[in-house]
Structure 1
Amino acid sequence: MNSDFVVAVHSLVLLAYTPERLRTSDNIANSVSIHPVRIRKVLSTLRKGGYIQSKEGAKGGFYLTRDPASITLAELYTLTSEGTLKPKWPDANPSCPIGAHIERAMDDIFATGEKQLEAHFQHYTIADVLQRVHNESL
């Protein structure tokens, strides 16, 4: 899994937390504690996916275009990280009986694990994460 997933979840939960307020990329970056350029890359992906829109101008910023209860973590995983569960294997010795075949032997294991992860994420929405954050702050 790459960090785009957690950055996307964090960003959407922040936007859901104050739906009446537009958030700039700098504001979101400050909450996530990463560089605004990195936030803009993830926000661009979310915009193309139809999850957010932006308003230009001095009082502009980003806002959700979907109900947080309708956005599953599975959707966001697919959008930002699908195929990243499998690690990059080192260049193994092709003369070794293990090294020559280990990556292909593990491919199905990672593919199955990713499907199970996506199925698990299907049970959680941005609204659920926001509620969990709220519960943690009590």
Structure 2
Amino acid sequence: MAGLSSRSAVAIHALAMLAHRRGGSLTSAEIADSLESNPVLVRRILGRLRDADLVWSAEGRGGGWSLARAPRDITLYDAYAAVEGAQIFSRHTHPPSGACEVGRTIGDVLDAEFQSAERALEERLGGTTIAGLLGRILASGAGQRDH
């Protein structure tokens, strides 16, 4: 899909780790270690999550990132919207030819299809909380490691 990137996966991973910490904080380096990623990338994603009021940070010794809300109050769609933006599908960058039978109406037809698909994504991701996701992770045994 045009608008999707790894940012959502990174954001959800970070939120799940913070939820697993149960009120404690993690540094961006600790989260990056679990992702096998760069702490700068993780800080950029966490900054977007902070802008959306999903996490907060404390500076200095003993500082780090923490959830700003209970894991049951954060959905996967909250994370997605914070880091990806609202529009998944790209529209025409400029209007197609009105002289063409297809060009005249394709924009409206595509908009309806794209809006329907975006609503379905919002409903699906909005129905799963970070708490629910973490429960599934831990139940599957993937959370057995100390990350």
TM-score in terms of structure 1 length = 0.82
**Of 15, 32, 37, the match for 1:34:** 37
Q: Which residue matches 2:115?
A: 111
Q: Is the 8 A contact 1:77 1:118 kept in 2?
A: no
Q: Which residue matches 1:45?
A: 48
The Cα of 1:101 is off from its aligned counterpart by 6.4
Between the two proteins, the alignment pairs up a number of residues equal to 136
Distance 2:6 2:69 in 1: 22
Q: Is 1:18 aligned to 2:21, yes or no?
A: yes
The Cα of 1:120 is off from its aligned counterpart by 1.4
Task: List per-residue Cα deviations over 1:22-67 (Å, max 9, x = no partner).
Answer: 2111111111222111111110011111111111112211111210
SS in structure 2 opposite 1:41? helix
- Gaps of at least 5 residues in structure 1 are none
Distance 2:119 2:80 in 1: 11
Q: Which residue matches 1:131?
A: 135
Distance 1:40 1:103 in 2: 40
What is the percent sequence identity of the aligned residues?
Answer: 31
Distance 1:87 1:59, change over 3 A: same
Task: List per-residue Cα deviations over 1:65-86 (Å, max 9, x = no partner).
Answer: 2100111112222222244421
When the two chains are superposed, the root-mean-square deviation of aligned CA atoms in Å is 2.5
- Gaps of at least 5 residues in structure 2 are 143-147
